[in-house]
Homo-oligomer: A and B are copies of this chain.
Amino acid sequence: MNKPAPIVEAEAPAALHQRIRTDIEAKILSGELGPGDRIPFEHELTELYGCSRMTVSKAISALAEAGLIERRRRAGSFVARPRVHSAVLDIPDLRSEIEGRGQDYRFELISTVQRAPDGVAEVELAGGRTLLALRGVHYADARPFALEDRLISLRAAPEAARVDFGEISPGAWLLEHIPWTEAENRIAAMSVDAADARLLAIPTKTACLAVERRTWRGGVGVTRVRQLFPGEAYDLVARFGPSRG
């Protein structure tokens, strides 16, 4: 869990535009250039590095796209000030997550029904058709790891009606057959009720991490899934740096 101090300043990227980019990036990250400071004009960097403006521009544009700097015509390029703490969150596929720990993975289907929509999210998912509703438990070795409640749109994935989700977990099947292009994740904490607690083999009212994910493919709702993780057993790790802009 320790963080190795990154070696900075040492590497010399082969490509010049990348060197320019990392040079400036280093100046910003080290604090030598603070938010609001102007970085040198393109024509100054052109002289400094003895290269053409395209090369400099490529470097600075990349930084701009990464949100580190802000470019303003006629004025110059400025170090952006960080706004929100933003991080990349990996929400792993449960099977690979569990097998990556050297444990056996198993998905046990508890129930599966087809039903008409009866809620806002359901209506949007269904698009006038019925929905597939699944409930199951992901196991790591013999221990319940997560409880999953899932709705699948039979409009987006008609084949889902004929799949045996006792064989393959719905997440894995969907990723293979109806990959999503947009997603929204919500993360909250909640106490498990008696029924869920029994399925997870934990005491009632244990604090659990609830992850709800809704996915779309080209604007059409594909699935909505709620996964409940016993709080002590699991945590999500998000890595990385500041978003600016």
Residues of chain A at the chain B interface (Cβ within 8 Å): 1-3, 5-6, 8, 29-31, 35, 62, 65, 82-93, 96, 120-121, 124, 175, 179-191, 205-210, 213-214, 216-221, 229, 231-232, 234-243
The answer for the CA separation of A92 and B242 in the assembled complex, in Å, is 11
Known: A85-B213, A208-B207. A187 touches B219 (CB 8 A): no
Known: A3-B184, A187-B236. A30 touches B218 (CB 8 A): yes
Contacts of A93 in B (CB 8 A): 83-85
Contacts of A240 in B (CB 8 A): 182-183
The answer for the CA separation of A57 and B92 in the assembled complex, in Å, is 32
What are 13 A-B residue pairs whose CB atoms fall within 8 Å in the complex? A2-B124, A3-B182, A3-B219, A85-B91, A85-B93, A87-B88, A88-B88, A88-B89, A179-B242, A187-B237, A188-B209, A190-B231, A191-B206
**Within the complex, what minimum Cβ distance (angstroms) separates A120 from chain B?**
7
Check if A92 sits within 8 Å of B84, measured CB to CB.
Answer: yes
